[in-house]
Chains A and B, each alone.
Chain A
């Protein structure tokens, strides 16, 4: 979905001269057309991510709408203080565009597994967090982010997923009453959707926007089910599982809520993210086998 978002940025830069696109020396065969068409509003800061974030903040001070792009582990983890102090505290409308979500970099070891970043970011009030789950949503996301005019993080998976074919921030595919609701986002949502295809009793709630959480939309869906399973390629406690538990606790909703997610870092090699989805039992087959 990187291509769709980069295309959207290119198109938007043609009509909105406030957009400034920054990269941390990433995006080969993807970003060159932006560099060529908009040389005054494109910069490759090099392998210097702290500077990437603070330079973005400075550009926002000068009146731009910066979009900072690199792999999420470099974009978020290394720059946590820069994101908090230079962007969030100032409410600068900087968009952090991070790729390689979850286990997209499967064989590259835990330095490149991105399974803990947005949970850290959600501790910052005022930072919107998106996780596009389909091409359709990815194509529409930039317009939403620019209109909302706030600090934002977009967590972009590597796949190009056709389903759910929706521009909505939250997508609910109803299952059988009192059965299992799978709540998910990003790449893991595909495991859930495939499981639902094989077992239509499963409900699926797909969140394209994680923060702020659509509390009403989520609670409405939860009410239909006896068991809630949050499926994600991110630590559950700080991720969506934690958010759903907080929502239910603060709303007086008593449900059994379980997490399917990684529970620690791993140095095991996987050829693709499927290996880790299976390891942590949130691949399609495991969901079908374990949940009734």
Chain B
């Protein structure tokens, strides 16, 4: 199942969730699809299901891509497909930010600048426990999110403690909440910033699952953590939403949903 999850299928699930529920965050969900597929492909999902102490952990720090997270989890067998119909539905636990009330989610997020730090603590703990199971800790982080100072506290710490079991994937879609990051707080040069903090840094096409997956191998030479800058397109796959900041918030109507599905197909 791992290698057969198609980005288009996940995107179709996301569009269905967002259209049926009238929910937002289309752009942020679409940009992260291949990253999420690479993350879940790189871990043993059976251990996540059994809650094995030495399981790999996935932390979705940009919690507003909940639709993409749940859709990807469903395609990996971590949630039933029928659960996606519950998204944003009153009385359910499938809220618009990633929640650990949903089975097999490690940590609830929503406020930015938390998930990477929790992932760092988890990586430290697993390293201390020394399971020798090859377990990894993966954190998906937004590019706007790294304007939060707490992220840099986490990065400094992870590098200092040689947490090579930690992988931080940056969804570098270059648009934050209402504008392009270059206009608000320019992150450039991002690669050099992380390198200056002592991380192993890769800069890849964030819509290439194989390219991302190739980076998710611990560096046993310098034992430093890994940052994968995934260059993505916000709203990827939905032509009218690509590069448009407004699709952080805008909701799909029937006409636009049909247009988006037709573009995917």
A243 CB to nearest chain B CB (Å): 28
CB contacts (< 8 Å) of A63 on chain B: these are 53, 125, 129
Question: What's the Cα separation between A40 and B157 when bound, in Å?
Answer: 15
Question: What's the Cα separation between A90 and B109 when bound, in Å?
Answer: 11
Judge if A165 is at the interface, Cβ distance under 8 Å: no
Judge if B62 is at the interface, Cβ distance under 8 Å: no
- A48→B125 contact, CB < 8 A: no
User: Taking A55-B121, A58-B122 as contacts, is the C-beta distance between A82 and B128 under 8 angstroms?
Assistant: no
CB contacts (< 8 Å) of B111 on chain A: these are 81, 85
Judge if A61 is at the interface, Cβ distance under 8 Å: yes
Q: Which of A158-188 contact B (CB under 8 A)?
A: none
Judge if A51 is at the interface, Cβ distance under 8 Å: yes
User: Taking A61-B57, A63-B53, A85-B110 as contacts, is the C-beta distance between A54 and B154 under 8 angstroms?
Assistant: yes
Question: What's the Cα separation between A173 and B219 when bound, in Å?
Answer: 63
- B121→A56 contact, CB < 8 A: yes
Judge if B120 is at the interface, Cβ distance under 8 Å: yes
Question: What's the Cα separation between A64 and B53 when bound, in Å?
Answer: 11
Judge if A57 is at the interface, Cβ distance under 8 Å: yes
Judge if A89 is at the interface, Cβ distance under 8 Å: yes
CB contacts (< 8 Å) of B128 on chain A: these are 20, 40-41, 62, 64
Judge if B156 is at the interface, Cβ distance under 8 Å: yes
CB contacts (< 8 Å) of A85 on chain B: these are 108-111, 114
CB contacts (< 8 Å) of A54 on chain B: these are 114, 117-118, 120-121, 150, 154
CB contacts (< 8 Å) of B110 on chain A: these are 85
CB contacts (< 8 Å) of B161 on chain A: these are 43
Question: What's the Cα separation between A54 and B149 when bound, in Å?
Answer: 13
Q: Which of A43-89 contact B (CB under 8 A)?
A: 43, 45-46, 48, 50-51, 54-64, 66, 81-82, 85-86, 89
Q: In the complex, which range does the number of interface residues on chain A fall in?
A: 20 to 34
Question: What's the Cα separation between A81 and B153 when bound, in Å?
Answer: 16
CB contacts (< 8 Å) of B154 on chain A: these are 51, 54-55
CB contacts (< 8 Å) of B199 on chain A: these are none
CB contacts (< 8 Å) of B109 on chain A: these are 85
CB contacts (< 8 Å) of B129 on chain A: these are 62-63
Contact flags B91-131 to A (C-beta < 8 A → 1, else 0): 00000000010000011111101100111111111101100
Question: What's the Cα separation between A51 and B153 when bound, in Å?
Answer: 6
- B150→A50 contact, CB < 8 A: yes
Question: What's the Cα separation between A58 and B106 when bound, in Å?
Answer: 10
Which residue of A46, A58, A81, A90 is within 8 Å of B120 (Cβ)? Answer: A58
- B125→A64 contact, CB < 8 A: yes
Looking at B53, B114, B149, B161, which has the most chain A CB atoms within 10 Å of its CB? Answer: B114
User: Taking A63-B125, A64-B125 as contacts, is the C-beta distance between A86 and B157 under 8 angstroms?
Assistant: no
Question: What's the Cα separation between A46 and B53 when bound, in Å?
Answer: 28
Q: In the complex, which range does the number of interface residues on chain B fall in?
A: 20 to 34
Q: Which of B118-164 contact A (CB under 8 A)?
A: 118-126, 128-129, 149-150, 153-154, 156-157, 161
- B156→A61 contact, CB < 8 A: no
- A62→B122 contact, CB < 8 A: yes
Question: What's the Cα separation between A55 and B155 when bound, in Å?
Answer: 12
Question: What's the Cα separation between A82 and B109 when bound, in Å?
Answer: 11
- B119→A58 contact, CB < 8 A: yes
- A58→B124 contact, CB < 8 A: yes
- B121→A57 contact, CB < 8 A: yes
Question: What's the Cα separation between A50 and B119 when bound, in Å?
Answer: 13
CB contacts (< 8 Å) of B123 on chain A: these are 58
A49 CB to nearest chain B CB (Å): 9
- A82→B114 contact, CB < 8 A: yes
CB contacts (< 8 Å) of B113 on chain A: these are 50
Chain B's closest residue to A39 (CB) is B128
Chain A's closest residue to B160 (CB) is A46
Chain B's closest residue to A63 (CB) is B53
CB contacts (< 8 Å) of B122 on chain A: these are 58-59, 61-62
CB contacts (< 8 Å) of A51 on chain B: these are 117, 120, 150, 153-154, 157
Question: What's the Cα separation between A20 and B125 when bound, in Å?
Answer: 9
CB contacts (< 8 Å) of A82 on chain B: these are 114, 117, 150
Which residue of A46, A48, A55, A81 is within 8 Å of B124 (Cβ)? Answer: A55
- B153→A48 contact, CB < 8 A: yes
Which residue of A55, A66, A90 is within 8 Å of B107 (Cβ)? Answer: A90
- B114→A55 contact, CB < 8 A: no
Chain A's closest residue to B119 (CB) is A58
A–B complex contacts, Cβ < 8 Å, 9 sampled: A46-B157, A54-B121, A54-B154, A55-B118, A55-B120, A55-B157, A64-B128, A86-B114, A90-B107
Q: State the B residues within 8 Å of A (CB).
A: 53, 57, 100, 106-111, 113-114, 117-126, 128-129, 149-150, 153-154, 156-157, 161
Q: State the A residues within 8 Å of B (CB).
A: 20, 40-41, 43, 45-46, 48, 50-51, 54-64, 66, 81-82, 85-86, 89-90
Q: A54-B117, A63-B53, A85-B114 are in contact. List 4 more A-B contacts (CB 8 A).
A: A20-B128, A43-B161, A54-B118, A63-B129
The 10 lowest CB-CB distance pairs between A and B, nearest first, are A58-B121, A62-B125, A54-B117, A55-B121, A58-B122, A51-B153, A48-B153, A58-B118, A59-B125, A50-B150
